[in-house]
Amino acid sequence: MIQDNASFTFLHRIEEVELNIEDGRWQSALALALTLPDICGGIAFPEIVKRYRDGRAVLDRNQRPTRDVGNQYIRWFDTYAAPFFKVSAQDISPYICGERCWQLRCEYLHQNKGFANTEDNTSIRFHLGVNCGTSVCQLDRIGSDNSLMDIRIDIEQFCRRMCQAVRAYYEAVHTEKDFNLYNTPVLDFIKASQDEQSNATIVIMCSNSAYGNGLKLALQRLSKNILVFETPQAARKKLGKKKHMLWVVTEALTKQPDQPWRADKRTPVILLSNQLESEITIEKNAGKLIILPMPVLPGSLRNAVKAYLLLKEEAYGIR
């Protein structure tokens, strides 16, 4: 089976976040959105790696420097995403920084929690909200000196702003950075099986060109080489001594002279006919003739062809 060309790309992940937003799937949208700086941080700051106290890089089992994911994440957010997370464009600082976003990412993805906000010296406490309509649902100052602030972040707006930030980063650097390294190959088994075509030649004999081309269309996913002829003479002239794997013949052609499929004892025939099997005079070795009623069902024809292709390919090692 040939692997299909489908894969989950960086842009697909952004689109998935946006689709989840449209569907109101806040948990899925937030989870995927929080992973986007993971990818961007590794692309933007590959030099940020884990180090021992003496400065030596920590190596993985393949003897390559180990990513310092947290610091890459925080650095990327503060460098590239921060402008998208301001309450207003005039603000000097965003309402959430890279360190807090990293905290949310770790607690939400690994523990199904939001911000812990348990530090004694915390002056800002973050919370998540939905259906707020603004990027920050509410800013509540607590205490007579306004020393403590509760910030409730709208999940929809957070995810939309993250998508805007990573799209802007992608547009700015995708010509110099290889985002394809961060694709996830995916095999679509249905599509791959449909696209797995044989190299075997199938010859269709049909005096009605429109019907013959319709038969070809029904079989085009099974073979790359399908030939359609309206007369035995045309088939003889074109084929010559070329080997092919299968004849598909309509009943009308059985009444014409010089029928090449009759003399060919080796190549199987699928005959499309309304005659009784006892009345068929095409002589074939056992297993070399299948009769299907007309008008033939495309599924029945494909199944009959598949049976012969598999048998032939196994016998001759053709793939």
**Predicted confidence (pLDDT) per residue in 18-46, tens digit:** 999 999 999 999 999 999 999 999 999 99
- Alpha-carbon distance of 163 to 298, in angstroms, equals 46
d(CA 291, CA 166): 60
Q: What is the pLDDT of residue 171?
A: 93
pLDDT in tens, 197-231: 677 889 998 988 888 888 998 888 888 889 999 88
Query: b/e per residue, 298-315, with b = 16+ CB within 10 A?
Result: eeebeebbeebbeebeee
Report the SS3 class of residue 201.
strand
**E runs forming strands in the chain:** 7-8, 124-129, 136-142, 148-154, 184-185, 198-205, 223-229, 246-250, 269-272, 289-292
**Residue corresponding to tokens 């509540």:** 140
Q: Return per-residue pLDDT of the chain as tens, 319 residues.
A: 334 455 788 899 999 999 999 999 999 999 999 999 999 999 999 998 888 988 888 888 878 888 889 999 999 999 999 999 988 878 888 989 999 999 999 999 998 888 877 666 667 788 888 887 666 766 555 544 556 777 888 899 999 999 999 999 999 998 888 887 778 877 666 665 555 667 788 999 898 888 888 899 888 888 888 999 988 888 888 887 676 678 898 888 877 777 777 766 678 888 888 776 555 566 555 557 888 888 888 888 888 888 877 655 444 444 4
Between CA 259 and CA 205 the distance in angstroms is 10
H and E: helices and strands count for the chain: 10, 10
Q: How do 7-8 and 184-185 pair as beta strands?
A: antiparallel
The DSSP output letter for 136 is E
Question: How many residues are present in the chain?
Answer: 319
- Residue 201 has a CB neighbour count (10 Å cut-off) of 17
pLDDT the model gives residue 144: 47
Please name which of 128, 127, 126, 134 lies closest in space to residue 160, comparing C-alpha atoms.
134
Q: How far is it, in rounded angstroms, from Cα 20 to Cα 92?
A: 31
Q: Phi/psi zone of residue 124: left (φ > 0), alpha (ψ -120 to 50 degrees), beta?
A: beta
Strand partners, 185: 7
Domains and CATH numbers, the chain: 10-189 (no CATH), 197-314 (3.40.50.2300)
pLDDT given for residue 4 in this prediction: 43
Q: How far apart are CA 95 and CA 85, in angstroms?
A: 6
Could you give the 3-state DSSP secondary structure of residue 286? Answer: coil
Closest CA to 129 of 87, 108, 158: 158
Cβ neighbours for 43, distance < 8 A, ≥ 6 positions apart? 173, 177, 179, 182
pLDDT of residue 279: 55
**Residue 187 has which token pair?**
């095999």
pLDDT of residue 258: 75
pTM, two decimal places: 0.57
Give the pair of three-digit tokens for residue 276. 């009784």
43-67 tens-digit pLDDT? 999 998 888 988 888 888 878 888 8
Distance between CA atoms of 224 and 268, rounded to whole angstroms? 18
Nearest to 180 by CA among 10, 4, 3, 6: 10
